Structure 1
Amino acid sequence: MNRLFLLLPFLIFSCSQIKQISKSEESKLILELLEKYIVHDSLYETRTINKYLLPYEYYEQEYSEDGDLAPPPYGYGSKNEFDIINSIELNPFFSDSASIVHVKHQLLNSEKIAKKHKLSTLDIVNLAMNNEDQDSWYSFYLPIFNADSSAVYMQYDFYPNGFGGFGWGNGAVLLKENGEWKYHDFIPGWIN
């Protein structure tokens, strides 16, 4: 019971630091971030974009009988809050206690949140998207914000010859500087 009273102020403080925005503001922000990401990493040449954001698959940390950390489940979409904060590129922006709680909340609710947003309103004309090749496409994951929304982690998967074949995925960190989102760092992902 005493632990609960010690934890309660932390949880109240953490939740009070998280800025709430409306669904339309959230959608505009997601589209703005994706457009910056697409342009910066030149993800617009002869490709199609999946109109749905992908959710993350949250997993709990598991340990072996020897106390060693077990590997995460297979797949680049499997994440937990420790994957985010243990990344060298992300640690400076996501390692405070409020961000850890916020990241976990976003990951746990990513399926529900991702369903609310369609990417069909991305401005493919201004992005110079060329959707001629319907067999290759990008799928973007729900952006993950730190507690004060000053940093965001973004991730995509790319399949040049259809789903399940050869492909790769990467991530990036964008930072909000003087009210504008700026691309900060590339995070290498997977390839098969």
Structure 2
Amino acid sequence: MNICLVNNLYPPINTGSSFYTRELAHNLNKRGHNLIVITNLLEGTKAFEIKNEIKIYRLPVIKLPRLKIWMKFPFFNFTLTLKNLKKFEEIIIKEEINIIHQCNTIFDLVFASSFFASRFKIPLICSVTTPIQHLNPFYNKLLEMFDKKFVYLLFSRKVNHYIALDKETERYLNERYKLYENISIIPCSVPSEEEL
């Protein structure tokens, strides 16, 4: 099966989400699947490379300022340019993608994932490692509104199935999107041999 993992964050970026995506790619590859990753092109990375049999496509970004609402996170960038959307489409066609697996819902590539999954009638899976939340109550309310309205309308309701890494993330998904029957909890996102 040709599986496309999509995440704005991927090594050499050092975050839990980037490591999760890399490990998921490696584990699925070990099970005989072809893995394609679409992520951000950052300084010091290549637009295309193959590492450990995994094809990695990196799309150019427009750097955004470090805002308090995003906790001054340095990797909040804008990726949804027309050129990048065309490249995303080309990858889906060229690699004959069977499943799009979006990792997290907080970055802008989620909208490309949902658009092209709908357009090409490809199943869309989403793993959530990080709930969209903020310690500041005002920013948290803004993010909640953005999540419930914008992300839900353009992405979340189009997802065929969600994977939560723990009970807390499952609770968050149920509260935000009312998904109840549409979530599986898989701590490593690849079942062990005993579970198969």
TM bucket (normalised to shorter chain) is under 0.3
TM-score, normalisation: structure 1: 0.27
Tell me which protein shows more helix as a share of its residues: 2
Which of these two proteins has the greater Rg computed from alpha carbons? 1
TM-score, normalisation: structure 2: 0.27
